[in-house]
Amino acid sequence: MKKNFLVLILLSLPLTLFSQNGEKNYSEAFNLIEVWLDAQKDYDMLPGISASAVEGDSIIWTGAFGLANRETNLEFSTSTLGSICSISKLFTSVAIMKLYDEGELRLDDRIEDLLPWYTLEQRFSGSGPITVRSLLTHSAGLPREGNLPYWVGPVYNFPERDEIIEELSTQETLYPSATYFQYSNLGMMLLGEIVAEVSGEPFEEYVINNILQPLNLDNTRTYMPEELHGAELAIGYTPMLRDGTRSSVNFFHANAMAAAAGFSSNVIDLADFSRWQIRLLDSDTPDILMPSTLRYMQNVHYTDPNWDTTWGLGFAVSRGSDGSKWVSHGGYCPGFQSIWRLQPESERAYAVIINANGVNPNKYATGIHGILNKAPDVAEESSPEEEADKPELSEYSGFYTFFYAETYITPWGDKLATLTLPTDNPGDNLSLYRHYKDDTFVRIRDDGADGETMEFDRDEDGNIYGMRIHQQFIYKKIGQ
């Protein structure tokens, strides 16, 4: 089941867009993204999933598939809210860096100088200080969590602020500061406390007044709205159980851990958050942050000794398989997983929200990116004679089955594209076929040479009902 591809946006934008790779026709890529995500939702047995794609200052695609609430059969939409879990940390990081821009704090300020009540024991006499910078890069050596079992279900009793603070004196550092990467929700909660202490406003109010409202992120909250649970806010579900089912997860409030994992949002607001960053990265004019500050945040500030983990100021910073730079943050909370990714070079960004655990939302974001990368160039106009020789490619489009696997065939510019489902890497697994003659097409190998042929068969009424490849016959699924 698929719904809500943000039709208004697609109708208001041309499907031919100028990308970093030149002028691209994205219409067929958008269709394939929808086919792929709808199929993956079923194969991965997800309750629901929503996603968005941004290029430059435009939301170029959004889509939603599956259910937000299985009990009421409520469909997931692009406006459906979900917990964005640790993506909350990006908003906390922006709040810290706004205070940095205003000269209210320094990145090398010690935590005990900013929070006089901070009592967590430093057990390494040779350790450097725990600073704002080391908290932002998760290199402070702090424990991952406060000294309370709030991630334990089925009832998730997240603590209040005073409970976390009271337990600080019973905890101690795991490592000397700036020695290892240790992801810390406790550290990000302390950054939220620093925002409140330095600004003189409660953390939630500061974020609303200085980030969410200026960016018109009206569907992003610093909490989970219980009154919307099961309706505008999706129900969350467990990882896949041994019997192949998922159970619903109890509602939770992150309470004192809001700065680390308490926000809710939807993929449209996350797309607008991306658009703001893309504009700022290419600007000389301050907008919440100085442009240089956002660039600084998205550079590597800490590298773990094993070189596998690199982190900026609040952002994960990594290199893609093609060597390109990515900044990102994922989220994992009871019943929800999410991902936000931005590739500064291409000015593309992606957001995914899933109302279930036990899946990898990153594969959906990178899959959308891979399909867009393969989008065909805008074709030059052909002569009337050339047009007359071209078959109507849409005739061949559809699902074909073989050994119960599915292959989807779709027009791709002046070619056909095939994608076998399921696949975690649709861009890499996309094959292109050029027209050879009649109903026969030839695969284009990676080196440009011709590969095997794919020949379509018609019934007595002239309709395509199957195709032949590698001497095997594959039936077309009728009605899809």
Where do the structural domains in the chain lie, given as residue ranges? 82-372, 382-480
pLDDT tens series, the chain, 480 aa: 454 444 333 433 445 555 555 688 999 999 999 999 999 999 999 999 999 999 999 999 999 999 999 999 999 999 999 999 999 999 999 999 999 999 999 999 999 999 999 999 999 999 999 999 999 999 999 999 999 999 999 999 999 999 999 999 999 999 999 999 999 999 999 999 999 999 999 999 999 999 999 999 999 999 999 999 999 999 999 999 999 999 999 999 999 999 999 999 999 999 999 999 999 999 999 999 999 999 999 999 999 998 989 999 999 999 998 999 999 999 999 999 999 999 999 999 999 999 999 999 999 999 999 999 999 987 655 455 555 567 999 999 999 998 778 999 999 999 999 999 999 999 999 999 999 999 999 999 999 999 999 999 999 999 999 999 998 999 998 765
**Run of H or E residues at 441:** strand 440-444
Fold match between domain 82-372 and domain 382-480: no
CATH of domain 82-372: 3.40.710.10
Region 382-480: CATH code: 2.40.128.50
Q: Which residues contact 465 (CB under 8 A, 6 or more apart)?
A: 457, 458, 459, 475, 476, 478
What is the radius of gyration, based on Cα positions, of the chain? 25
Please tell me the distance from the alpha carbon of residue 403 to that of residue 385, in angstroms, as a whole number: 41
Q: Which of 265, 259, 227, 304 is nearest to 94 (CA)?
A: 259
pTM, whole model, 2 decimals? 0.93
| H or E element, residue 329 | strand 325-333
Closest CA to 288 of 97, 420, 479, 33: 97
Pairwise CA distance, residues 30 & 452, whole Å: 27
Please list, in sequence order, all residues whose beta carbon lies within 8 angstroms of the beta carbon of residue 437, skipping any fewer than 6 positions away.
none
